[in-house]
Homo-oligomer: A and B are copies of this chain.
């Protein structure tokens, strides 16, 4: 391994360099490059040529310093794997336009101290706004009132009702799952889901129950089967149901992992999916949903949309007022072979 000077050493060209080469003042050069008025076509062309020659790239920092805007937003997450933050980041990137706004990603790793630390850093970098992504979809402490920049909470709402939060519409998602299954002719539907302390679990169950009631259908197994967000729980809950000779022709699982456990257990009992029992999951975690046997129908929380909306709300807040309260973002059902035979 040699050890040479790899990156070009000379500092990048400045506006001053461009102006000098074009034989104009930096004021004129600035106007020419930014399409401002009061520059003749010929001078503009000369400046542009000089800029191209020098591979001039404007210093966004300096620009931000005078504009009072940095074109950066902070994404403060606690999501250790990026499962949530990356899609949200991409949505935000799209909405802002990747060329005008960049995202500073900070992972607090679930540590409040670290979160405060990152917050201070982001503020001192003068980000234009902040998106806070929680690890679980339940109210989390606000990062503070009266911050110098607008803040949007995504996925996990802020506990402070004066903050603006964006969350998935889990109630409607629950209804969608039932609607899908009944639309396929299923009548005896069980709901196996995760940790009951998760608001999302409660909401999805609530939606499912409401939709069942609206259609005059009972919930198979008589109650919602809360447990853990694991395959193991999906398996064991399913076995319990079958052991009790509960007749089921569909299962609405609270997560894709649970759904896989459910399918596993059904297979072990010789039941075929979706012929005998249709199964739908939640999260649409591609890697799980598509590697399942059969591929898993699932409900997608539209995280990119969440990010996109977060960006839009922030953008609106830049020149105006930010709303408050909790905004529900609709989910989307992705049908695959675990409910609809290929």
Contact = CB atoms under 8 A, between A and B. Distances in A.
Interface in A50-103: 57-62, 64-65, 68, 70, 72, 75, 79-83, 85-86, 89-90, 93, 98-99, 102-103
Interface string A206-236: 0000000000000000000000001110000
A120 interface: yes
A1 B109 contact: no
Contacts of A286: 81
Interface string A186-219: 0000000000000000000000000000000000
A250 to B, nearest CB: 23
A26 interface: no
Contacts of A72: 104, 125
Nearest to A318: B7
Contact of A317 (B7, B70, B109): B7
Interface stretch (A28-36, A177-185, A323-331): A323-331
Given A59-B124, A104-B103, A291-B230, A1 B148 contact: no
B321 A6 contact: yes
- Give the secondary structure class of A's interface: mixed
Nearest to A230: B291
Contacts of A46: none
B291 A148 contact: no
Interface in A254-297: 257, 286-287, 291, 293
B1 A324 contact: yes
Contact of A105 (B103, B146, B147): B103
A58 B123 CA distance: 9
B93 A102 contact: no
A114 interface: yes
Contact of A57 (B8, B83, B124): B124
Given A61-B126, A86-B81, A117-B98, A7 B147 contact: yes
Report the copy number of this chain in the oligomer: 2
A164 B102 contact: no
A175 interface: no
Contacts of A3: 321-324
Interface centre among A81, A105, A117, A121 (most CB of B within 10 A): A105
A114 B322 CA distance: 31
Given A7-B317, A150-B6, A105 B89 contact: yes
Given A65-B65, A82-B86, A232-B291, 12 more contacts: A6-B322, A7-B150, A8-B148, A12-B148, A72-B104, A75-B105, A81-B83, A82-B85, A89-B105, A102-B104, A102-B125, A104-B105
- In order of increasing CB-CB distance, the 9 nearest A-B pairs are A82-B82, A82-B86, A6-B322, A105-B105, A1-B325, A8-B146, A1-B323, A57-B124, A60-B125
24 contacts: A1-B327, A2-B323, A2-B325, A3-B323, A4-B321, A6-B324, A7-B149, A7-B150, A57-B123, A60-B124, A61-B126, A62-B65, A81-B287, A82-B85, A82-B86, A86-B107, A90-B107, A98-B106, A99-B117, A102-B104, A102-B106, A105-B105, A230-B291, A231-B293
